[in-house]
Structure 1
Amino acid sequence: MDILKKYPKKVVLSDGTEVTIRPLKKGDKAALIDFFSRVPAKDRNFLRDDVTDRKLVASWVDNLNYEVVLPLIAEYNGRIMGDITLQRRRYGWKKHVGDVRVVVASEFQKKGLGTSLVREVVELARELGLEKLAVEIHVKLTPAIKAFARC
């Protein structure tokens, strides 16, 4: 996909930490499994899928199809610290709508990583011609709500 040529991209967070944002690729299976294994149970409760299921997470990498699900990751020192996906339909009456899901490692929350990932996906969605983005956020997740409101 031509729109992915701008990656990898360096982003500096509010505390000065530099992370790399790039598309998930086939070689990221172990790193993605590791990332989701570090997500605390309190945060996993808000996710749609059971990310502790290693086979499920591995299947996401094995079945990468950027035309359907476009996953971006944020890396720091070779480890994934954030994951965002833009899911879209290729046909039908909702093909103009993208669904967004984002997860940020606990130690990288409240540093602007979530906002940076959301900005990337919003830009990609525009480039792909999407007109709307849908996201499910629990009312108590104020930082996530603010991240989407800023974009």
Structure 2
Amino acid sequence: MSEVQRTYPQNVDCNGVDVRLDMMSAGDEQDVLAFARSLPEKDLLFMRRDIRQAKVVAAWSELIEQGRLASLLAWSGDKVVGCTALIVDPLSWSPHVGELRVIVSRDMRGLGLGRVMIQEGFAMALSKGLEKLVAQMTIDQQSAIAVFEGLGFRGEALMRNHVKDADGGKHDIVLLSHDVARVQSQMEAYGLTDAF
């Protein structure tokens, strides 16, 4: 399989809003915390950890430095307005599977940034030679689910009452997946490996 490589930073136009994409580094921790803390709890329930906590973002940053996680930030001016993370566990039974997590600030939704972040995450998966991507979100995040499905992800599981919010309310999580290896093979067959 040929690899897809991206270079950052890069600028993208999100419906008239200039956004800079760049890989997350240790120096970005405070900006990521500010971004996470600006989001309602409900938007973060699909994540395995509460990224509004400094110790969680510090652990995230440490995993990036160790090369165990890739994370891309979207910036509007000096403010983080979106992020994506690709998590792979090479010591698990599923080293060929990556989990893609994407979150976009509320004021940037509907401008195409979510789609861009998912596509960039997909490119990261291709560059790592992954065969499958999974993503999860709460069932009420219908717009996000629609964007993922529009990019070829399909529903694989519904986990009822899987997460609890701070008030103890339970929420369902939907698991979506994408066959990255199949798409890569199709791209190669048509000579489109540089198109993505």
Q: TM-score under structure 1 normalisation?
A: 0.88
* 1:47 and 2:47 matched: yes
Q: Is the 8 A contact 1:33 1:58 kept in 2?
A: no
SS of aligned partner of 1:137? strand
Matched position secondary structure for 2:81: strand
Unaligned runs of 5+ in 2: 152-196
Structure 2 residue identity aligned to 1:8: P
Instruction: After TM superposition, give the deviation of residue 106 of structure 1 in Å.
Output: 1.0
Structure 1 position 112, deviation (Å): 1.0
Amino acid of the structure 2 residue aligned with 1:73: L
Residue 135 (structure 2) pairs with residue 112 (structure 1):
no
- Whether the aligned pair in 2 keeps the contact of 1:74 and 1:80 (CA below 8 Å) is yes
| Distance verdict in 2 for CA 1:110–1:56, change over 3 Å | same
Q: Note the C-alpha offset of 1:71.
A: 0.6
Q: CA deviation at 1:137?
A: 2.0
Aligned counterparts of 1:41 and 1:91: Cα–Cα separation in 2: 31
Q: Deviations over 1:83-130 (max 9, x none)?
A: 110001224431110001111111111111111000001011112110
SS of match in other structure, 2:110 = coil
Change in Cα spacing, 1:93 to 1:55, as seen in structure 2 (3 Å) is: closer
- Offset of 1:143 from its aligned partner? 1.6
User: How far does residue 7 in structure 1 lie from its aligned partner after superposition?
Assistant: 0.6
- The answer to whether the Cα contact below 8 Å between 1:96 and 1:132 also exists between their aligned partners in 2 is yes
**Number of equivalenced pairs:** 149
Distance in 2 of aligned mates of 1:31 and 1:4: 26
Return 5+ residue gaps in structure 1 as ranges: none
Does 1:147 pair with 2:147? yes
SS in 1 for 2:55: helix
CA distance in 2, matches of 1:5, 1:44: 27
**1:92–1:51 Cα change, 3 Å:** closer
CA contact (8 A) 2:86 2:98 kept: yes
Equivalent runs, 1:1-151 vs 2, <5 Å: 6-14=7-15, 16-65=16-65, 67-151=67-151
Identify if the C-alpha distance between structure 1 residues 73 and 131 changes in structure 2 by more than 3 Å, giving closer, same or farther: same
- Root-mean-square deviation (Å): 2.0
**Cα distance in 1 between the residues matched to 2:96 and 2:51:** 28
More strand by share: 2
Aligned-partner Cα distance in 1 for 2:66–2:132: 18
Counterpart code for 2:94 = K
My pick for the range that moved more, 111-120 or 3-12, is 3-12
Which amino acid is 1:85 matched to? A
Amino acid at match of 2:20: T
How far apart, in 1, do the equivalents of 2:88 and 2:65 lie? 11
